[in-house]
Amino acid sequence: MRLPTLALALALSLPALAGDDAVVDGDLGRQLDAAVQKAGGPDFWGSVLVAKGGKVLLAKGYGSADYAKTPNTPSTYFEIASSSKMFTATAIMRLAEQKKLALTDPISKFFKDVPDDKKAITVRHLLTHTSGLTVEALLPYQSPHSAEEFVAIAMKSPLESKVGEKFAYSNPGYALLGVIIEKASGQRLEKYIHENIFDAAGMKDSGFVQEKMFDATRASTRQDKETKKALGRAFEWGWGWGYKGMGGMVTTSYDLFRFDRAMRAGKILNEASQKAQATPEQAGYGLGCQVAITDRGTTKIGHSGSVAGYLTAFTRWLGDDAVVIVLSNDSCNPFAVEAAAADLLFPPLAITLDIDIQGRETNEHGGLVMKEGASWKASKTEDGVVLSVETKAGAPLKATFPGASSVALLKVVEDEIARRTKAGEKDDGSVEFGVYTGRLGLKDGRGQVKGAKFELMPGYTGVGTDGKDINDPRMCLIFADPATHQWPLMAHMSLTSAGQLAKELKGALGR
């Protein structure tokens, strides 16, 4: 990951934004606009901002803010749900810079009567969702319970797992961080974030639900497509210790862009804190954000959010100095919109996937899952490398890389192996390949995907076909089809299997 030096950071300034107006800049802006509309669909409601190198290429509203047909604009207010966690985490790290707390502090420093099973929980465990706290500690959004009453309930709730043992997404953990912000700063959570993040970044249109600062004429409403009625404006959602710290932030696409620029300028966190924030731990989660390594070997971080009709995808490409912000009051797929924009900012490397699962038993989603008996094999071609998943029954997937992209894959795999080895990760030798074809439209289980791209994630979190959460800490290599947003390949790799992949690539590249 490359972050600006102090000299460069001081030279950067917040962007001059003329009235937060709509922007469709040049040919690329028009291509981005068309891609957003195609990915979002004809009924997409929301606001999208795309910028690179500090320049806004697209800032535009789509669809309606409400059923009165008030249009969405780049300055429409949206509730960003769990994307708020990035700001809670940033506030914690700013307090650490101010020497008001340390990430290694146990929660017993802030709370009385912490039971024995929770005494090992630190601030860092809460930030990285590794505290083991269960959802049983979660209160209703509008709960009247005080912070002290919430903490008492959380302390009495059983742990889902041992402290530090595994990643388990925890809303109550972030609510506890909200209380810690109040105790460490001596201010209300909202006031501390306003003064130390929003004001520092020039985020003039950001706040929290139930605050009186918002102009009702600029607020989006949640959709109810059946009744065609508005379900309440963005800032009218419930607000209590069942939601504080984990959600509830109201903002605009331009204000999130201001946050991006202020972070890059070192106006909120210093370089060391930003590097720590973007260092993945279990399941690829850093300090308040999901972390991934791109096919260019750069780092991207972000956080999504979803609550009762509001959807957010907020992603920052650190070394590439780019940001994509998707805010929606619709039941759209914000990740498809984000991916469509990212494909124009960073054209996919020309990887071709040849798939052949003919005659193999797949699940109801067109997936062929192999937990044993499969391995990597790479061979050199005239201008690149062919990487295949090998089984006794043949290769269900082959990826043909031009030379530059295979070198990039080798680099990101070796870097991740080095990081995990340095961290002392235990190696169980496992590997799990999944070839997924559900949306590819293959004929007789055979077909080709052109223009695919790869991404190495330090871990994978998602929801399985059975509806249960998946939290896999192994590094996860995916190949993605930009046309269908299908992931034809997911490979969950231990250090052993990742090492075998690196060895194969090095052999094919003659290294």
pLDDT of residue 7: 32
Angle at 275 between CA 254 and CA 407, to 5 degrees: 95
CB within 8 A of 75, min separation 6: which ones? 20, 205, 218, 252, 254
Question: In sequence order, which residues have a C-beta less than 8 Å from that of residue 91 and are 6 or more positions away?
Answer: 181, 189, 192, 193, 196, 197
Task: Please provide the size of the chain in residues.
Answer: 511
Q: Which domain holds residue 362?
A: 351-509
E-assigned strand segments in 146-226: 207-208
pTM assigned to the model = 0.81
Q: For residues 46 and 332, is the Cβ–Cβ distance under 8 A?
A: yes
Per residue in 152-173, pLDDT (tens digit) is 999 999 998 999 988 989 999 9
Structure confidence by residue, pLDDT tens digits, 174-210: 999 999 999 999 999 999 999 999 999 999 999 999 8
Asked whether residue 137 is domain-assigned, the answer is no
Strands (E) located in 366-444: 367-370, 375-380, 384-391, 394-402, 431-436
Specify if 480 maps to a domain: yes
What proportion of the chain, given as a percentage, has pLDDT over 70?
93
* Angle, helix 171-185 to helix 85-97, in steps of 10 degrees: 40
- Is 434 among the domain residues? yes
Give the CA radius of gyration of the chain: 23
Residue 383 lies in a domain: yes
pLDDT attached to residue 225: 62
* Average per-residue pLDDT for the chain: 89
The type of residue at 417 is I
Structural tokens at position 59: 């800032």
3-state secondary structure 234-298: HHHCCCCCCCCCCCCEEECHHHHHHHHHHHHCCCCCCHHHHHHHCCCCHHHECCCCEEEECCCCC
pLDDT tens profile 379-429: 998 888 999 999 999 999 999 988 678 888 998 899 889 988 988 888 999
**Residue 371, class by beta-carbon neighbours within 10 Å (0-12 exposed, 13-18 middle, 19+ buried)?**
exposed
Report if residue 261 sits inside a domain. Answer: no
Q: How many structural domains compose the chain?
A: 1
Band (pLDDT 50/70/90 cuts) for residue 4 is very low
Q: Identify which of 305, 335, 399, 344 has the alpha carbon closest to the alpha carbon of residue 78.
A: 305
> Is 488 a member of any domain?
yes
381 domain residue, yes or no: yes
Q: What is the 3-state secondary structure (H, E, C) of 334-365?
A: HHHHHHHHHHHHCCCCCEEEEEECCCCCCCCC
Name residues whose C-beta falls within 8 Å of residue 69's C-beta, 6 or more positions apart in sequence. none
What is the per-residue pLDDT for 11?
A: 33
Which of these ranges, 110-119, 151-160, 218-227, 491-500, has the smallest mean pLDDT? 218-227
What is the predicted pLDDT for the residue at 3?
40
Between 433 and 70, the more confident residue is 433
* CA contacts within 13 A on the Cβ side of 403: 6
Question: Is 129 domain-assigned?
Answer: no
Q: What is the pLDDT of residue 111?
A: 96
Question: For the segment 54-88, what is each residue's pLDDT rounded down to a tens digit?
Answer: 999 999 999 988 877 789 999 999 999 999 999 99
